[in-house]
Amino acid sequence: MGLDKRARIPRNPLLLQRWLLPVVVLVVSLALLAGGDFAREGLRYERAAIAAGEFWRLVSGHFVHLGSSHVALNMAGLGLVWYLVGNTLNRVQWVGVMAFGIMIIDLGFWFLNPELQWYVGLSGVLHTLLVAGLIVSAAPERKDVIVLAIIVAAKIGWEQSSGPLPGSVQSSGGAVIVDAHLYGAAAGVLAGILARIRVARPGSI
């Protein structure tokens, strides 16, 4: 009697669930990349267009990229972030953290960087996700988390004092807006603290 072919396929529902959000982000980013200049120019964060009422750009601007190298760089970063901290929160919480990061970055751009005319990319949000995950994971015995937090803080400090990290402009294919990383990291700190407070409350889920 033959075996059911479906039984031969290894399944790991928990693994699939854990990586569902980054896979969705990857698919969306690749689909928008396929749209070329039309998609990028129609969806990027663009100050004048937002002021004219094109509010979708506040969200979509974080998922369009300069080109294939920019997408590859951001998706590699997302994969690394998810590998490091993706299990610290559930899927719904991560969606909330991502939305919070987008909001804080956009507010930072709008009020603190009025000279910034347009922006694309996920790097700011990646800083939100990583920092939030590190905050939630922080514990005295987690030396790895402490080391990573120091590295992230040093990176932000370097960028604010000296500009983009060496090689980042070439690898991304265009100018690096380092303030996006600062605002994203700040959002991650706030989101991580709020998540820890929620978990610490008696009866919280």
Q: Is residue 10 part of a domain?
A: yes
Q: Is residue 19 part of a domain?
A: yes
Domain, as residue range, for 176: 5-200
Q: Is residue 164 part of a domain?
A: yes
In contact, 20 and 87? CB cutoff 8 Å: no
CA-wise closest residue to 146 among 158, 157, 155, 137: 137
Using a cut of 0.85, tell me whether the model's pTM lies above it.
yes
Q: Is residue 205 part of a domain?
A: no
Q: Is residue 153 part of a domain?
A: yes
pLDDT, residue 140, reads: 87
pLDDT, residue 7, reads: 42
Q: Domain count for the chain, please give it.
A: 1
Q: How many angstroms separate the CA atoms of 95 and 91, rounded?
A: 6
Q: Is residue 169 part of a domain?
A: yes
Q: How many angstroms separate the CA atoms of 153 and 147, rounded?
A: 10
- Which mean pLDDT values do the consecutive 10-residue runs of the chain (205 residues) have? 45 73 97 97 98 98 97 97 95 96 98 98 98 95 95 98 94 94 98 87 52
Q: Is residue 80 part of a domain?
A: yes
Q: Is residue 179 part of a domain?
A: yes
Q: What is the CATH number of the domain that holds 109?
A: 1.20.1540.10
CA-wise closest residue to 160 among 177, 142, 143, 173: 177
Query: What's the Cα-to-Cα distance from 12 to each of 19, 25, 67, rounded to whole Å?
Result: 11, 20, 33
pLDDT, residue 78, reads: 98
